[in-house]
Structure 1
Amino acid sequence: MLSKEDTVIGFIGTGVMGKSMAMHFLQAGFSVIAYNRTKEKANELFEKGASWASTPKEVAQQSNVIITMVGFPKDVEEVYFGEQGIIEHAKRGSYVIDMTTSNPTLAKKIYDVAKKKGIYALDAPVSGGDIGAKEARLSIMVGGDVEAFQKIEPLFQILGTNTVYQGNAGAGQHTKMCNQIAIASNMIGVCEAIVYAEKAGLDPEKVLESISSGAAGSWSLSNLAPRMLAGNFEPGFYIKHFIKDMNIALQEAEAMGMDTPGLALAKNMYDRLAQSGEENSGTQALYKYWKD
């Protein structure tokens, strides 16, 4: 276990979820160094005692646990392997943890290159959205060496309530693909149910009260359907990022020779929403597919 006195956490990516995650480490008494492309988005962290780094390189040089929570695989590639990247500048014996939902192949590449430099790498994507991040109730799926996982697990427990070691490098990302595949078709069902209730002349809030605790219950039904009804389409998770995840899952499934018709349908529907200007809305904006 890493002690608070000897641990400096570098956090790269303080967006919708990352800011809350970094805040939990501050509240737990850890030293935190933050980097974000838009510095102002991390102001709340600085007010609570976090330090600022102007590049991923500076984060790597000053930290011994480096966590990344960025947007797309290309962003992960840049912060790890770019000129100012983590791998080139991280200290031997440090831990690098990518919590972005990214490509399993890229997770393996980070692991392999890091290992040659004496750096421990874990891929640890999360599920739970903005609510899970704020309330430290994330589900965390981890790939990499089990010994590294055991060292870092107490830090994961600060962020979530369900941390599961899934296996070798890339296993965390593959598990997150399972998560996204399950959500993709489920979101279609949630939206169709709400629109059906409205067209049938029912009170959709009362319908939710009945079906959310029965066999149809799901996280999306309980947490995102009320946002739909309130007209709240602010992102707990961006549509553009969900499309990115579905693209990764489709590519990985194709490589395994697997057909994913539910995932393909959801991807097509979200693509149409993004093309209509909804890419920066939350995933619950799929409701608008039937309303526009």
Structure 2
Amino acid sequence: MPALSGTTIGFIGLGLMGRPMALHLHRAGATVVVCNRSQTVVDALVAQGLQAAATPREVAARTDTVILMLPDTPSVETVLFGADGVLAGLRPGALVIDMGTTAVLATREFGRRVREAGGDYLDAPVSGGQVGAEEATLTIMVGGSDAAVVRARPLLAVLGSRLTHVGELGAGQVAKAANQVIVGLTIGAVAEGLALAQRAGVDPVRVREALVGGFAASRILELHGERMVSGRFAPGGRATVQHKDMSQALELAQALGLELPATALNRELYARLIALGEGGLDHSALYRLITGAAGTPAEGAGR
């Protein structure tokens, strides 16, 4: 019997990562009810056996668990509490799981409001990008009660290969903020190192090969470094999203009285990349800013 046979799951937000995640749940045996701002992707999923809902309210009214995979905090707030939002159709005892990257303080407030309405709430942001979503190998960082995590674990196990219950509500988003700081700064480090090699007249492809097996080795050098040296910047994780995530991390740090100077500089670099019209490219396109190529046409840039 499939792992999720007999379960009914709502899924709202069918972008680069949400679409394959919803499909994994469906293939694991769940009845999956989907809703998205763009109807085209909904129609494509319905053709594969998933069910459509017209509004977040309808999703909530038809399911016991609702997963959100949305681009930013305002989108989560609108989907939950706006006209025809999830809260308007929430079943008693239903579980809402936010798997996007949402501001920590807002997450705690959203959870409080959902609990007051008779539901439960988890923040379960992910790392692994589009590839991780497609291969169901996401790393999932969870905040919320023990009981809610136990309830969610079977479906989260379908979506990822590593799940960590970090702490109470909001703790998952704190972990994701830390993740995005490390990702953004490491992309910047790889971009600068490979740009240095290029400017010095040494093949960055070979420099990357030399570094992959050494102390500078990382998943980012492996994957994003390859994007940089091959000039392939079709988005897996967009530069605009990385900028948003760095901004959220800095807002959290400010609220805690903590200075993150390298993170602030990295956010500024992404802001410059976006201002040059390249925010829709993969976040590894920071390499184009460092090398001076940003804002100019380039074959293979993935525009």
What's the TM-score once normalised by structure 1's chain length? Answer: 0.96
Structure 1 residues 148-167: Cα deviation after superposition (integer angstroms, max 9, x where no partner): 10111111111111110011
Classify the secondary structure of the residue corresponding to 1:234. Answer: coil
Mapped pair 1:50 → 2:62 = no
Structure 1 residues 203-249: Cα deviation after superposition (integer angstroms, max 9, x where no partner): 32222222123211122111111112222111111111111111111
Tell me the equivalent position of 1:269: 269
- Contact preservation (8 Å) 2:243, 2:267: yes
**266-275 or 82-91: which moved more?**
82-91
Q: Percent identity?
A: 38
Tell me the equivalent position of 2:230: 230
**200-209 or 85-94: which moved more?**
200-209
**24-33 or 265-274: which moved more?**
24-33
- Contact preservation (8 Å) 1:137, 1:162: yes
Classify the secondary structure of the residue corresponding to 1:88. Answer: helix
The amino acid of 1:111's aligned partner reads: G
Structure 2 residue runs without a partner (length 5+): 294-303
Cα distance, 1:175 vs. partner? 0.7
Mapped pair 1:90 → 2:90 = yes
The amino acid of 2:83's aligned partner reads: E
- 1:206-225 matched pairs, under 5 angstroms: 206-225=206-225
Structure 1 residues 47-96: Cα deviation after superposition (integer angstroms, max 9, x where no partner): 22011111111111111110000111110000011011112211011110
**193-202 or 17-26: which moved more?**
193-202
Structure 1 residues 165-220: Cα deviation after superposition (integer angstroms, max 9, x where no partner): 01111111111001011112111111011112222333322222221232111221
The amino acid of 1:164's aligned partner reads: T
After superposition, the CA RMSD in angstroms is 1.5
Tell me the equivalent position of 1:284: 284
Tell me the equivalent position of 1:123: 123
Paired with 1:133 and 1:119, the residues of 2 have a C-alpha distance of 27
Paired with 1:81 and 1:197, the residues of 2 have a C-alpha distance of 50
Tell me the equivalent position of 2:24: 24
Paired with 2:260 and 2:135, the residues of 1 have a C-alpha distance of 33
- Contact preservation (8 Å) 1:26, 1:48: no
Paired with 2:160 and 2:65, the residues of 1 have a C-alpha distance of 17
Structure 1 residues 5-39: Cα deviation after superposition (integer angstroms, max 9, x where no partner): 44111100000110111111111111111111001
Paired with 2:205 and 2:42, the residues of 1 have a C-alpha distance of 36
Cα distance, 1:253 vs. partner? 0.3
Q: Name the CA shift for 1:165/1:64 in 2 (closer, same or farther; >3 Å).
A: same
Paired with 1:216 and 1:42, the residues of 2 have a C-alpha distance of 42
The amino acid of 1:191's aligned partner reads: A
Q: Name the CA shift for 1:225/1:80 in 2 (closer, same or farther; >3 Å).
A: same
What's the TM-score once normalised by structure 2's chain length? Answer: 0.92
Tell me the equivalent position of 1:163: 163
- Contact preservation (8 Å) 1:184, 1:262: no
Q: Name the CA shift for 1:28/1:6 in 2 (closer, same or farther; >3 Å).
A: closer
The amino acid of 1:210's aligned partner reads: A
Tell me the equivalent position of 1:186: 186
Classify the secondary structure of the residue corresponding to 1:224. Answer: helix
Tell me the equivalent position of 2:149: 149
- Contact preservation (8 Å) 2:7, 2:31: yes
Paired with 1:205 and 1:46, the residues of 2 have a C-alpha distance of 43
The amino acid of 2:215's aligned partner reads: A
Q: Name the CA shift for 1:88/1:193 in 2 (closer, same or farther; >3 Å).
A: same
**246-255 or 206-215: which moved more?**
206-215
Aligned length, in residue pairs:
291
Paired with 2:211 and 2:5, the residues of 1 have a C-alpha distance of 48
Tell me the equivalent position of 1:39: 39
